[in-house]
Amino acid sequence: MFLSVFDMFKVGIGPSSSHTMGPMVAAARFLDKMRAAPFTCHGVKGSLHGSLAFTGIGHATDRATILGLAGFVPETYDHEKAETVMEHIRETHTLSPEGLGTLRFNPKEDLVFDFGPNLPGHANGMILMATDSQGDTILQETYYSIGGGFVMTEAELAAGRNTEEGAPVPYPFKSAAEMLQMAETSGKSIAQMKKANEISRKGETDMTAGVKRIWQVMNDCIERGMNTDGILPGGLNVKRRAKGIRDALIAERGTNLQAPHKINDWMSLYAMAVNEENAAGGQVVTAPTNGAAGVVPAVIRYYLDHYPGASEAHVEDFLLTAAAIGGLVKFNASISGAEAGCQAEVGSAAAMGAAGLCAVMGGTPMQIENAAEIALEHHLGMTCDPVKGLVQVPCIERNGLGAIKAVSAASLAMRGDGTHLVPLDACIETMRQTGADMMDKYKETSLGGLAVNVPNC
């Protein structure tokens, strides 16, 4: 099994990897399918199903799908250009993606929110159609946005393709038990095995440069969030808090009798800064999703800014270790809130952050596995119930608490020798089963929990 670090950490846009990035990627894939078709397409239509319908407005799913059909992709997204294109589409009822000429598309009529039963493959389903000059469908594909910006067609999902295809890698672990066994046999750390796998596919130079860019984008996002105030979009009138918290913490430096728990405020600050940027539609890195994008970078900043002897040279090992854990969760369970609740998003992110921190603090593979298990175990059962379908409440603060749990889990694991009762594999399987048992109203539909008990305006 191989999931690249660049699959687990993707540069994209907010507010959601599954509801914004995924639909944009699916639409771009459909354009390629249209370009390869042996006939001329004159228009496009689409329908959004399940969670993509119920929380699509709050997550800008419709906008992302339309821009994807216009030729935009998350990694090169230009906000100003997108605004110009959207206005042109609304005025002309046409799209002009490269290589396909002018296509008929009326945003109000040709993209439907279907609030009926979910499509069979996943809660995040969408159908895209190309039409002929008469308006009849001549090409159709069903896509599922399965979390973290990953997109699969109906056929791919049915075939069980859940990992990147390609040549074999040196350390193809698909469970934590296999990972630990390979580490013991090879004498390598988890980061070293993950690095060998990445180099076998991408080459060392590209891998190193790519990982550096991931951290740069993460850190830039933290900095923007800590220096921006105002009201977040969407109608809840949620005030950005990161800048105020940062300013207060800086002002309190050097004062006597500071409470030891103030370090928690710094961790929350870093995470909330990222998720406020995400809520505003800014550039973020999926880690492993947009809704949980603040946890891993917050733990890295905690390490760099507050841990004695920390070095930025160790960030690569942090991210490689975190990606290895995230890959196990995705392969064996889910990182999708619409499939398994927030335990699959912030819970997975906390496990990744705990593992990465434990690694750069000198933890053994067994201690790293223990750290990931502790963090994930104490998110089990967490629902996904965003108020008004926006990735704001409770999502922003939840990332701060996820980062705190990640650091605590890594610290607890370092206090032991790695032996513990509950294996990470058992915890991941428990998360999968819990997600399967969870009622749909608690899985990113905004039909239960806080979403129905807090006023939406």
CATH number at residue 261: 1.10.4100
Do residues 207 and 355 share a domain?
yes
pLDDT on residue 403: 98
The answer on 183 and 154 residing in a single domain is: no
How far lies 449's CA from each of 132, 207, 394, in Å? 44, 42, 11
Looking at residue 7, its pLDDT comes to: 95
- Do 80 and 151 sit in the same domain of this protein? yes
pLDDT at 165: 60
The answer to whether position 166 is within a domain reads no
Residues facing residue 152 across a β-bridge: 144
User: Does residue 1 lie within any of the structural domains?
Assistant: no
Ramachandran quadrant class, 160 (left: phi over 0; alpha: psi -120 to 50; beta: rest): left
User: Is 168 within the bounds of a domain?
Assistant: no
Domain that holds residue 437: 176-453
pLDDT per position as a tens digit, 118-152: 999 999 999 999 999 999 999 999 999 999 999 99
How many other CB atoms are there within 10 angstroms of residue 75's CB atom?
A: 12
| Among 349, 380, 368, residue whose Cα is nearest residue 416 | 368
Considering the domain architecture, whether residues 197 and 132 belong to the same structural domain is answered as no
pLDDT tier at 256, thresholds 50, 70, 90: confident
Tell me what the mean pLDDT of segment 68-76 comes to: 95
Q: Give yes or no for a contact between 112 and 56, defined as CB atoms under 8 angstroms apart.
A: no
Domain match, 72 and 137 both: yes
128 strand-pairing partners:
46, 141
Q: What pLDDT score was predicted for residue 55? A: 94
304: amino acid identity, one letter:
L
**Could you give the CA distance from residue 23 to residue 245 in angstroms, rounded to a whole number?**
34
Q: Do residue 221 and residue 285 come from a single domain?
A: yes
- Enumerate the H helices of 70-189 as residue ranges: 79-92, 107-110, 154-158, 176-186
> Domain boundary residue among 158, 191, 224?
158
Which residue, chain included where needed, has tokens 């004062």? 255
The amino acid at 47: S
| Average pLDDT of the segment spanning 325-353 | 98
Number of domains into which the chain is organized: 2
Does 180 lie in the same domain as 153?
A: no
| Rounded Cα gap, residues 296 and 222, in angstroms | 11
| CATH value at residue 65 | 3.30.1330.90
Note the pLDDT of residue 161: 54
Picking from 170, 168, 167, 119, the residue whose alpha carbon sits closest to that of residue 145 is 119
Q: Are 348 and 427 within one domain?
A: yes
Clarify whether residues 152 and 184 are in a common domain.
no
Q: Alpha-carbon dihedral of residues 28, 31, 36, 39, nearest 10 degrees?
A: 170
Q: Report the distance separating Cα 277 and Cα 283, nearest Å.
A: 7
Strands 150-153, 137-147: pairing is antiparallel
Torsion of CA 339, 345, 282, 204, to 10 degrees: -110
Give domain status of residue 399, yes or no. yes
395 found inside a domain: yes
Strand 111-114 to 43-50 pairing:
parallel
Mean pLDDT for 236-256 is: 94
Please tell me the predicted confidence (pLDDT) of residue 115.
96
Q: In this structure, is residue 2 part of a structural domain?
A: no
Whether residue 346 lies inside any domain: the answer is yes
Tell how strand 283-285 and strand 111-114 pair up: unpaired
Which of 130, 158, 186 is the last residue in one of the domains?
158
**Residue 167: pLDDT band by 50, 70, 90 thresholds?**
confident
Three-state SS letters, 391-408: CCCCHHHHHHHHHHHHHH
Domain finish residue from 104, 128, 158: 158
- For residue 168, give every residue at least 6 positions away whose Cβ sits within 8 Å of its Cβ, in sequence order, or none: none
Q: Which of 435, 218, 412 is nearest to 342 (CA)?
A: 435
Please give the structure tokens belonging to residue 32: 């390629």
Residues 186 and 56 placed together within one structural domain of the fold: no
Asked whether residue 166 carries a pLDDT value surpassing 80, the answer given is no
CB 435 within 8 Å of CB 339: yes
Does residue 393 contact residue 387 with C-beta atoms inside 8 Å? yes
Would you state the pLDDT for residue 164? 52
Q: Does any domain span residue 8?
A: no
Query: Same structural domain for residues 230 and 308?
Result: yes
Same domain flag for 291 and 329: yes
pLDDT tops 80 at residue 168: yes
If DSSP codes are grouped into helix, strand and coil, which group holds residue 317? helix
**pTM, whole model, 2 decimals?**
0.93
- Say if residue 456's pLDDT is above 90: no
